[in-house]
Structure 1
Amino acid sequence: MANPWLRILLVDEDHSTRMNIEKNLASLGYHRVAPLSSLRELLMIIDSALCTFDLLIINEAILKRAGPILDQGIRGYPDIRHSLIYQRASLHFSPFVDYSTSAMNFTLSGPPDRDAISQIMAFIDKPANISTALKTPA
């Protein structure tokens, strides 16, 4: 069963892609999704965040345009536990640098479909990988 308290950031400039990913997340029971259309919006949200986000789903092109320093800063941001970065050749699992061994960075070719989201959320939604979202209000 999905943990409805997981906090998810979704960043893509294409409205229909954002809506499709958000719809897939909702169909799996994840409703605390903040859909964002730009890097600027993402930076404003994480800069003022009071709680940890469990997952960042972001189009890789947005990170590449940000430049290497900002890209690494977002990928290693301590208040984002996991990330799903899409538009690469294959799905990779690798731990975040300087964070927890339970934090993962996922890379996926193309926008994630329901099956890919389901597989990734199965990992993230394990009790040992859930942030303290239940303890802190949104």
Structure 2
Amino acid sequence: MPNKALRILIADTQHTHRIVLERLFNQQGYFRIVPVSDVQALLTLVEYGSEPFDLVVVNAGLAEGALDLHDFILYNPQVRHAMLYNVQQIGLSPVPAVRRSSLHLSHAPLPDLTALRRVTERVDPPASEPMQPWGRSLRQGRGG
């Protein structure tokens, strides 16, 4: 069951991309989503928000070179997890091992449902079946 309290920010200049991504998150049970269309709105919400975003999904071309989105997201304490999509392979600094699990890079022009599920499983892991304290299930009756 998804954690309905997760805060998700989607940043893309194309309205249709924002709508598609928001609907894909809605299909997974996430509804606290803020879509923004420019880098200034992204910066304002991330920097001046009262609580961190659990997931920030950003088109890598959003800043058009005015800001290094990769490093901004990687080192910002207001971003717990992030996905940069439409990423070009050149010009990215290496991701430190301590941050690799929280930054997801995609070369796809727009992530699909499968890609978003992979990311949300890291952000909001599915609850597993509860185990007995001794690590195995109870057996009914006695074997002969």
Task: Give the TM-score of the pair, scaled to structure 2.
Answer: 0.73
Contact 1:9 1:53 (8 Å CA) reproduced: yes
Equivalent residue for 1:35? 35
> What is the count of residue pairs matched by the alignment?
121
Equivalent residue for 1:61? 61
Cα RMSD for the two superposed structures: 2.5
Task: Give the TM-score of the pair, scaled to structure 1.
Answer: 0.76
Contact 1:58 1:84 (8 Å CA) reproduced: yes
Higher helix proportion, which one? 1
Q: Hey, what's the Cα distance between the residues in 2 that align with 1:112 and 1:15?
A: 15
2:30 aligns to what SS in structure 1? coil
Q: Hey, what's the Cα distance between the residues in 2 that align with 1:53 and 1:76?
A: 13
Equivalent residue for 2:116? 117
Q: Hey, what's the Cα distance between the residues in 2 that align with 1:16 and 1:83?
A: 20
Equivalent residue for 1:133? none
1:59-98 Cα offsets, whole Å, 9 max, x none, are 0112452233x652233111101110001379xxxx9659
Q: Hey, what's the Cα distance between the residues in 2 that align with 1:106 and 1:86?
A: 8
Q: Which amino acid aligns with 2:75?
A: G
Contact 1:11 1:18 (8 Å CA) reproduced: yes
Contact 2:74 2:99 (8 Å CA) reproduced: no
Unaligned runs of 5+ in 2: 127-144
- After the TM superposition, which segments of 4 or more aligned residues of structure 1 sit over 3 Å from their partners? 95-98, 100-103
Higher strand proportion, which one? 1
Unaligned runs of 5+ in 1: 128-138
Contact 1:76 1:97 (8 Å CA) reproduced: no
Higher-Rg member (1/2):
2
Higher-RCO chain (CA-CA 8 Å, sequence separation at least 6): 1
Contact 2:7 2:54 (8 Å CA) reproduced: yes
